[in-house]
Chains A and B, each alone.
Chain A
Amino acid sequence: MAVKLVHGFFDPWRWLLDHQKTRLSPGSYGATASFVGTMRDFNEGDRVEELFLEHYPGMTERELEKIVAEARDQWRFLDALIVHRVGEIRPGEPIVLVAVWSAHRGPAFDACRGIMEALKHRAPFWKKERCADGSRWVARNTDGY
């Protein structure tokens, strides 16, 4: 299990591969599910030029670790990785990676979705958008469906 906050650009596929190579033994897993969240250049009808992601150092990591531990109790997967950006983010850049490895596809798919939804609801991150006519805090996340 690994939780990582990163400042600056990250390549989610590189992180996924590196984690898989160093933390999982070949043949132990039969399924890998991943989710990558990427910054859009529009929100609520406006063009967004830049995003600032604030977090609560210490609590954010702790909450993410709790989310992974609870998901593992529920879905019994082999391993999981969360990588999340903080600080300034440009449109088109990845914000979050969730990857889950398990023996069969069910737990990998379900835990990947479950971790992502829990992160959206509980992990202490706050987005501030910069648009052409000024900055604004994002009031709430979309429901994602």
Chain B
Amino acid sequence: MSIRVRMFASLRERWQIDQVELKPEGIATVADVWRALTGETMTDRVLAAVNMEYARPETPVHEGDEVAFFPPVTGG
């Protein structure tokens, strides 16, 4: 099993990633997923969710999880 990662809106365009499967080796947290994909440290301009619940950089990530990254929301 792997970790499914999704990006939305400006982040998807910036990193050219819509959806990708990631091997779980070496990945313990949301921040680890972000670093594995972008090579960067998460800033407060990047929001995250694990299994469709808001998450923080230190939130644990497990095999089979869906991790999403997106910019600040602008609905309504």
User: Smallest Cβ distance from A136 to chain B, in angstroms?
Assistant: 9
User: Smallest Cβ distance from A44 to chain B, in angstroms?
Assistant: 12
How many A-B pairs have beta carbons closer than 8 Å: the answer is 70
Q: Which of A56, A122, A141 has the most CB of B within 10 A?
A: A56
- Is there an interface contact between A54 and B9, defined as CB atoms closer than 8 Å? yes
A140 and B73 CA atoms in complex are apart in Å by 7
Closest residue of chain A to B72 (Cβ to Cβ) is A140
Query: A68 in the interface, Cβ–Cβ < 8 Å?
Result: no
A141 and B6 CA atoms in complex are apart in Å by 23
- Is there an interface contact between B52 and A62, defined as CB atoms closer than 8 Å? yes
Query: B57 in the interface, Cβ–Cβ < 8 Å?
Result: no
A121 and B13 CA atoms in complex are apart in Å by 22
Closest residue of chain B to A116 (Cβ to Cβ) is B76
A121 and B47 CA atoms in complex are apart in Å by 12
Contacts of B68 in A (CB 8 A): 56, 59
- The digit string for A115-145, where 1 denotes a CB below 8 A from any CB of B, is 0100111111111100000000111110000
- Is there an interface contact between B10 and A137, defined as CB atoms closer than 8 Å? yes
Q: How many residues of A contact B (CB 8 A)?
A: 27
- Is there an interface contact between A58 and B76, defined as CB atoms closer than 8 Å? no
Contacts of B71 in A (CB 8 A): 126, 137, 139
- Is there an interface contact between A120 and B76, defined as CB atoms closer than 8 Å? yes
A-B contact pairs, 25 of them (CB 8 A): A37-B76, A53-B75, A54-B8, A56-B6, A56-B52, A58-B52, A62-B53, A96-B76, A116-B76, A120-B76, A121-B73, A123-B75, A124-B8, A124-B70, A124-B73, A125-B74, A125-B76, A126-B9, A126-B10, A126-B70, A126-B75, A128-B9, A137-B9, A141-B73, A141-B76
The 5 closest A-B pairs by CB, nearest first: A125-B75, A126-B9, A59-B52, A137-B10, A138-B74
